[in-house]
Amino acid sequence: MGRLEIIPVEGVPEVRPGDRLADLLVAGSVAFEAGDVVVVTQKVVSKAEGRLVAVDHDNRRAWAAVVDGEAVRVLRRRGDLVITETRAGFVCANSGVDLSNVPDGYATLLPVDADRSARRIRDGLRARTGVEVAVVVSDTFGRPWRRGLADVAIGCAGIAAVVDLRGTSDARGRELTVTEVAVVDELAAAAELVMGKASGICAAVVRGVAPAWLVDGGSVRADIVRPPAEDLFR
Amino acid sequence: MGRLEIIPVEGVPEVRPGDRLADLLVAGSVAFEAGDVVVVTQKVVSKAEGRLVAVDHDNRRAWAAVVDGEAVRVLRRRGDLVITETRAGFVCANSGVDLSNVPDGYATLLPVDADRSARRIRDGLRARTGVEVAVVVSDTFGRPWRRGLADVAIGCAGIAAVVDLRGTSDARGRELTVTEVAVVDELAAAAELVMGKASGICAAVVRGVAPAWLVDGGSVRADIVRPPAEDLFR
């Protein structure tokens, strides 16, 4: 396997509700190539899909109502921080409701179905450019046991979410037992390294990914979200 | 911020206890450049440091004794799977004890102090090449709530583990409240994308990282490991 390039997509116009993201992404600095993985941040996906709510963060009751409305379960609560499970099955802070980089008085909600969001962007890019890319929708999550935030995938299309190396033998010819790698999460993390949080860059391309990972389907919800019954920490 | 390249280091000789990793890494396919982040997998760091134990995995009692010996706390146990907190503070499966890519009848233990391991490799590469690089020691961990494994950092040197963007304003000029990004974890994840689990590649270079992230110190243990008292899931 050769090298990868991670390329920020600069010059994407400001995203507004109702915009088609593919139209805006092709206006950016990168000419997409077949096999590229285009990582797009949740923030602009939610904006384009109109997943904005008016909320006054200083009004604790109003804020809590928005967060609770997105949750199916509260895992932990400490002061202002609440860790919830969202309807889509993500466990994250504040149900993914986010105030940064949105107009004052508004917050973004997570896309209803980020796999579908990824499929739409992928279809739009194919229609615009004739090029077949994969798309990952990323968001910034905290983690238990480890400080700091890291980007993960909340939706994907055109790439396997998890690449299953079970049964392939290791370098010594012995069978490996568990090596299901969450490649879409690693791609989201890699993309974040060129995006930063304050630079206004909403997308990045990972170029050079193994062709075997590129499939027609792909779903974070089906392959990454761990059902509660299978989970040791819920 | 520009683009990043992720380059696998091929042709590194088989690592044996007592080897100096820097000597082996410079024999590989990449000529290191100033500012490179060299990501090295735990497996070869542990091997070089002699962190190998003889253990028969089919002897459950012997295996459990090794895993328990590395742990300060057991968080969860289900069947053969045990999630522990290691002496260094990592929460992971089987205390990080690992059978893959090691000689039959042996397992690797995590390095005693992977930040120190990273410093040694960095110092060794400086001595060999005259070039100042950063080093990240990576390992493959599972995550609660999400299926699939992803690489994270267990040690670092020459790079800030967490880049704190608190107080910098977002693209709309408003103050961001929490954006401490665990860049070493994202670098470990990015590197894994070119390493695979079965291809025998033990290191990768991330080239093009923001110079502001490169510092003289850096510590996963101090800046990423979350103290139990601060943790909601322990």
Do the Cβ atoms of B147 and A226 come within 8 Å? yes
Cβ contacts of A173-176, under 8 Å, gap ≥ 24: A174/B100, A174/B104, A176/B100, A176/B197, A176/B198
**For B5, which of A3, A151, A224 is closest by C-beta distance?**
A3
Average pLDDT for chain B: 92
CA distance A111 to chain B (A): 18
Nearest CA in chain A to B233: A144
Residue A59: predicted pLDDT? 87
Do the Cβ atoms of B179 and A200 come within 8 Å? no
List the single range of A179-193, A208-222, B138-152, B193-207 with lowest mean pLDDT: B193-207
Q: Which is nearest to B95 in space by CA: B121, B74, B122? A: B74
**For A181, which of B7, B90, B197 is closest by C-beta distance?**
B197
Residue B21: predicted pLDDT? 98
State mean pLDDT over A199-203: 87
Q: Which of A88-102, A112-126, A160-174 has the highest mean pLDDT?
A: A112-126
**For A232, which of B144, B161, B200 is closest by C-beta distance?**
B144
Residue B104: predicted pLDDT? 84
List the single range of A66-75, B22-31, B54-63 with lowest mean pLDDT: B54-63
Answer CATH for A5-50+111-226 from 3.30.1330.100, 3.40.50.2000, 3.40.50.150, 1.25.40.10: 3.30.1330.100
Read off the pTM: 0.95
Assess whether pLDDT exceeds 70 at residue B185.
yes
Residue A153 · residue A188 · CB < 8 Å: yes
B151 close to A (CB below 8 A): yes
Domain boundaries, chain A: 5-50+111-226, 52-109
Residue A177: predicted pLDDT? 56
Confidence of residue B178 (pLDDT cuts 50, 70, 90): low
Confidence of residue B172 (pLDDT cuts 50, 70, 90): low
**B132-155 per-position pLDDT tens digit:** 999 999 999 999 999 999 999 999
**B 10-69 residues inside an 8 A Cβ radius of A:** none
Q: How many contacts (CB atoms, under 8 Å) link A and B?
A: 233
Assess whether pLDDT exceeds 90 at residue A216.
yes
Strands B4-8 and A4-8, bridge-based pairing:
antiparallel
A176 close to B (CB below 8 A): yes
Confidence of residue B196 (pLDDT cuts 50, 70, 90): confident
**Rounded to an integer, what distance in angstroms lies between the CA atom of residue A53 and that of residue A75?**
23
Do the Cβ atoms of B172 and A8 come within 8 Å? no
Residues in chain B with CB shorter than 8 Å from the CB of A6 are: 3-6, 190
Do the Cβ atoms of B181 and A100 come within 8 Å? no
State mean pLDDT over B7-32: 96
Residue B114 · residue B15 · CB < 8 Å: no
**B94-128 per-position pLDDT tens digit:** 999 998 878 889 999 999 999 999 999 999 999 99
Q: Residue holding tokens 């004739």?
A: A130
State mean pLDDT over A99-110: 89
Assess whether pLDDT exceeds 70 at residue B169.
no
Residues in chain B with CB shorter than 8 Å from the CB of A72 are: none
In this structure, what token pair is assigned to residue B194? 């070119």
Q: Which is nearest to A206 in space by CA: A3, A1, A69? A: A3
Residue B205: predicted pLDDT? 98
Do the Cβ atoms of B150 and A186 come within 8 Å? yes
Assess whether pLDDT exceeds 70 at residue A219.
yes
Q: List residues bridging with A41 in a β-sheet.
A: A138
State mean pLDDT over B223-228: 94
CATH 3.30.460.20 fits B5-50+111-225, yes or no: no
State mean pLDDT over B45-70: 93
Do the Cβ atoms of A197 and B165 come within 8 Å? yes
Residue B133: predicted pLDDT? 98
Q: What superfamily in CATH does domain A52-109 come from? A: CofE-like domain (3.90.1660.10)
* pLDDT top residue among B205 and B198: B205
Residue A100: predicted pLDDT? 81
**For A170, which of B78, B143, B198 is closest by C-beta distance?**
B198
Q: Which is nearest to A43 in space by CA: A21, A27, A23? A: A21
Task: Using the Cα atoms of residue A26, residue A28, residue A33 and residue A39 in order, give the sign of their dihedral.
Answer: negative
Confidence of residue A58 (pLDDT cuts 50, 70, 90): confident
**Rounded to an integer, what distance in angstroms lies between the CA atom of residue B38 and that of residue B214?**
12
Whole-complex ipTM: 0.94
Average pLDDT for chain A: 92
Residues in chain A with CB shorter than 8 Å from the CB of B4 are: 5-6, 190, 193-194
Do the Cβ atoms of A190 and B189 come within 8 Å? yes
Residue B1: predicted pLDDT? 54
B28 residue type, one letter: G
Residue B170: predicted pLDDT? 58
Q: Which is nearest to B151 in space by CA: A136, A223, A189? A: A189
Assess whether pLDDT exceeds 70 at residue A31.
yes
DSSP of B24-82, one letter per residue?
A: HHTTSS----TT-EEEEEHHHHHHHTT-EEE--TT-HHHHHHHHHHTEEEEEEEETTEE
Do the Cβ atoms of A186 and B5 come within 8 Å? no
**Rounded to an integer, what distance in angstroms lies between the CA atom of residue B234 and that of residue B232?**
6
Do the Cβ atoms of A190 and B185 come within 8 Å? no
